[in-house]
A and B are shown apart, each in its own frame.
Chain A
Amino acid sequence: QLQLQESGPGLVKPSETLSLTCIVSGGSISRNNYYWGWIRQPPGKGLEWIGSIYYSGSTYYNPSLKSRVTISVDTSKNQFSLKLSSVTAADTAVYYCARQISSGWTNFDYWGQGTLVTVSS
């Protein structure tokens, strides 16, 4: 059974960089036909797609966040990572990593449990 687990600091200061890692177990991140994505959810609000990466390193970012986002993949460790720079209180959210179908349907079929990141001094 595929499992995804987010890890990283739960508190980040304003103007600093948020860094999270998603460790994938129970399956290879290098499989064809899957992207690996990040989605966030501010407290009490809806879901927002941040970006996705293919195991080859190809990336797709939400244009509203593109200037501040970097997603990378480490196939040797079966994990992928998110960096969001110049954070503000508006970036406070639960951050989820998820597997995404890359061909045909584009849904997210496996999700991590999510990790709350608070931006505060």
Chain B
Amino acid sequence: QSVLTQPPSVSGAPGQRVTISCTGSSSNIGAGYDVHWYQQLPGIAPKLLIYGNNNRPSGVPDRFSGSKSGTSASLAITGLQAEDEADYYCQSYDNLSGRFYVFGTGTKVTVL
């Protein structure tokens, strides 16, 4: 049972904008800890997509953006493309009873 909750799935047509929420609590996102996002294509290891709430590693298109507010964070994908169909996970730090590093429940993005 993850401490970070994401919607199981989101979908959109090519070119549309979709957002994925990551809801935490006062012991993780609400405590000010950074949120990171990963993209996992089918059968492939996760890839870092966003770090430190809203920073993109080199090579990640600017179609991907992140934000954080209160106890939640969001990942936005603009100009949705077929290659964006994947699972997405948020990750943060939790200071409750040594939980340390926690992942979200994951969201499947489907391109219609």
Contacts and interface: CB of A to CB of B under 8 A. Distances in A.
B36 A48 contact: no
B46 A96 contact: yes
Interface in A106-120: 106-109, 111-114
Contacts of A39: 103
Interface stretch (B15-23, B68-76, B90-98): B90-98
Nearest to A6: B45
B45 A114 contact: yes
A62 interface: yes
Contacts of A46: 2, 89, 103-106
Contacts of A113: 44-45
Given A52-B101, A109-B57, A113-B45, 17 more contacts: A46-B2, A46-B89, A47-B38, A47-B46, A47-B91, A48-B103, A60-B98, A62-B99, A63-B99, A96-B46, A100-B101, A105-B51, A106-B33, A106-B34, A107-B34, A108-B91, A112-B45
Interface string B30-53: 000110101000001111100110
Interface string A30-64: 00000001010000001111001000000010110
A62 B100 contact: yes
Contacts, number: 65
A109 B104 contact: no
Given A105-B36, A105-B52, A111 B100 contact: no
Given A46-B106, A49-B101, A63-B99, A111 B91 contact: no
A107 B36 CA distance: 6
Contacts of A63: 97-99
B70 to A, nearest CB: 19
